[in-house]
């Protein structure tokens, strides 16, 4: 397996995509990167180091739709004929059929979250200025939880040393994105986890994909799966491998417990308050993409508090506000 680090000056740090050893079976790439020229150069160089050209790719397994993971998929498919696989929940954003609906949903939520005019204009300009990062739509093959992807003879040694075939199994772990999927080896305790967990910071929940129902509760369920699974190593979509995935998942669960408590305190201090006002209390000043991620994360925690009966939601003048529940 070859880890290929890709430049990412737009989003949250360099991406990593993974090439599975082409000597063992179908030439498989996990994720694709964002369609910028530095990324294209990094990808071509990384593939060449492994003795592979873009034209040699047989299949691309996407962990989720975010453009820094899927944006190049359509272009790579056109140049190689590779099959592009993505969970069915994210397919409309990768094949292009759902992109307009997604933008409409974002606009409605930005209004409901109470983002003021000036930061909303900044965010809109940022998003429109990066429209091209969605890349060319891909012709996708969809799958659901549990799909198996054979890796080919020789991909896993047996106890007696003979060559055997390993398999990647798709594990649907939504939260950060609706279709976010890990690919877990069946014959070794390792998995490619995309942005389910990351080594240096916590993946955004709420703003990163507002299609996710009950975003915080959904993400916590995914983290609990990782925390309960005895993986030796996880390969994330950014930065370095994680040697103790269960502990990292537990750390992120604790982080969100603490943030939920801070969100409740902010509602107590400010309420009735919009997600934007709560985000300002939690995170301070926000710019570019964080104008979306900040109130989105606050919204995810606020909705979890509503579900728990601690906070009440009201909709007035097209804006949603939250206050402590009446006792």
How confident is the model at residue 152, as a pLDDT? 79
Handedness of CA 251, 231, 2, 63 (dihedral sign): negative
pTM of the model: 0.94
How confident is the model at residue 25, as a pLDDT? 81
Residue 197's nearest CA partner among 231, 157, 168, 159 is: 231
Segment 183-192, tens digit of pLDDT: 999 999 999 9
How confident is the model at residue 9, as a pLDDT? 63
φ, ψ of residue 319 in degrees (nearest 5): -120, 140
Segment 71-109, tens digit of pLDDT: 999 999 999 999 999 999 999 999 999 999 999 999 999
More confident residue, 132 or 74: 74
Residue 140: Cβ-neighbour burial (10 angstroms; 0-12, 13-18, 19+): buried
**Residue 31, phi-psi category: left (phi > 0), alpha (psi -120 to 50), beta (remainder):** left
User: Does position 153 have pLDDT exceeding 80, yes or no?
Assistant: no
How confident is the model at residue 81, as a pLDDT? 97
Per-residue tokens: 273: 């308050």
What lies within 8 Å, CB to CB, of 159 at 6+ separation is none
Q: Give the domains, in start order, of the chain with CATH numbers.
A: 2-104+130-243 (3.60.15.10), 248-324 (1.10.10.10)
| Least confidently predicted of 24-28, 65-69, 204-208, 311-315 | 24-28
Confidence class for position 260, pLDDT limits 50, 70, 90: very high
User: Does position 161 have pLDDT exceeding 60, yes or no?
Assistant: no
């Amino acid at each position: 397996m070859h880890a290929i680090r890709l430049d990412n000056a737009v989003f949250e740090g360099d991406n990593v995509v993974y090439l599975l050893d082409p000597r063992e079976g179908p030439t498989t790439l996990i994720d694709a990167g964002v369609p910028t020229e530095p990324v294209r150069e990094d990808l071509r160089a990384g593939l060449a180091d492994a003795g592979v050209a873009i034209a040699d790719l047989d299949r691309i397994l996407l962990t989720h739709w975010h453009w820094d993971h899927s944006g190049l998929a359509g272009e790579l498919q056109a140049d190689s004929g590779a099959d592009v696989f993505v969970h069915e929940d994210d397919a409309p954003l990768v094949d292009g059929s759902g992109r307009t609906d997604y933008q409409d949903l974002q606009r409605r939520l930005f209004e409901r979250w109470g983002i003021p005019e000036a930061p909303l204009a900044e965010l809109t300009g940022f998003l429109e200025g990066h429209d091209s990062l969605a890349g060319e739509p891909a012709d996708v093959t969809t799958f659901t939880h549990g799909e198996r992807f054979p890796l080919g003879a020789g991909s896993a040694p047996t106890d007696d040393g003979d060559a055997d075939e390993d398999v990647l199994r798709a594990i649907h772990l939504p939260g950060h994105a609706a279709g976010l999927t890990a690919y877990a080896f069946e014959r070794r305790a390792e998995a490619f986890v995309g942005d389910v967990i990351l080594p240096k910071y916590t993946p955004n929940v709420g703003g990163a994909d507002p299609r996710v129902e009950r975003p915080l509760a959904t993400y916590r369920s995914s983290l609990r799966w990782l925390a309960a699974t005895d993986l030796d190593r996880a390969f994330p979509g950014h930065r370095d491998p994680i040697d103790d995935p269960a502990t990292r998942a537990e750390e992120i669960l604790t982080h969100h417990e603490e943030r939920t408590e801070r969100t409740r305190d902010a509602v107590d201090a400010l309420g009735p308050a919009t997600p934007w006002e709560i985000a300002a209390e939690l995170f301070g000043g926000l710019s570019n993409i964080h104008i979306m991620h900040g109130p989105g994360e606050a919204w995810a925690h606020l909705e979890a508090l509503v579900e728990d009966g601690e906070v009440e939601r009201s909709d007035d003048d097209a804006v949603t506000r939250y206050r402590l529940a009446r006792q």
